[in-house]
Amino acid sequence: MCGLYLSQVAPGGQLPQSDDVSRDVRKTPSSRKPGDNSVWMLTSVEGPDTKKTACYDIDVEVDDPLKAQMNSFILSTANQQEIQGLDNKIHETVETINQLKTNREFFLSFAKDPQQFISKWLVSQMRDLKTMTDVVGSPEEERRADFYYQRWAQEAVCRYFYGKVQQRRAELEQALGIRNA
């Protein structure tokens, strides 16, 4: 886009380009041909749309004719129940919106990449199941036979059987009516 003066000198918005730009630039006014045109323009790096703005906060007190009426409405006990009911409705609506947003994100992630979604979902479900059932340890490690040949495993088996024997003995004594003295 040419300026007003540049468009008068260069019709069509294009200036002819010289092969040796540096030579043309270094010409002094006396060494130029009489037909040469010189155009002096001031260009700005900032565009015309660039605006500098400043923001200020100004406190202004304005008399509100409805302020007293609103205060009396809020302070009346009859309206407190209505306000509480409206507040509960707002709370329920916000909860519903949050739930719908969560559902939407859930289904969008499924629509975007079903395979990755199912993989992540299964990992999440497995983590939740471990938390709910209080699973301790690593099931993958426990599947290997070497896990059960460790030194502590023999002691754990002996304690387990001793506990079961004691439990059965107590049940038998209770059934027969025998008491330990």
- Same structural domain for residues 102 and 159? no
- Same structural domain for residues 129 and 165? no
Domain that holds residue 147: 143-181
| pLDDT band of 96, cuts 50, 70, 90 | very high
Is residue 83 in a domain? yes
Q: Render pLDDT for 18-69 as a digit per residue (tens, 0 to 9).
A: 544 444 444 455 554 555 555 566 656 666 666 666 777 777 777 888 888 8
Is residue 86 in a domain? yes
Give the pLDDT mean for 73-101: 88
Closest CA to 121 of 132, 136, 110, 131: 110
Each as own residue / partner, the long-range contacts of residues 73-76 (CB below 8 Å, 24 or more positions apart, any chain) are none
- Same structural domain for residues 122 and 149? no
Query: Which amino acid belongs to residue 82?
Result: E
| pLDDT band of 135, cuts 50, 70, 90 | low
| Total number of domains constituting the chain | 2
Three-state DSSP class for residue 1? coil
Q: Render pLDDT for 12-23 as a digit per residue (tens, 0 to 9).
A: 655 555 544 444
**Structure letter (DSSP) for residue 169:** H
Is residue 5 in a domain? no
Compare 88 and 39 and report the one with higher pLDDT: 88
- Same structural domain for residues 129 and 73? yes
CA distance readout (Å), 60 to 45, 56, 57, 68, 87: 39, 12, 10, 19, 30
Predicted pLDDT of residue 88: 95
Is residue 149 in a domain? yes
- Same structural domain for residues 94 and 119? yes
Is residue 30 in a domain? no
- Same structural domain for residues 132 and 147? no
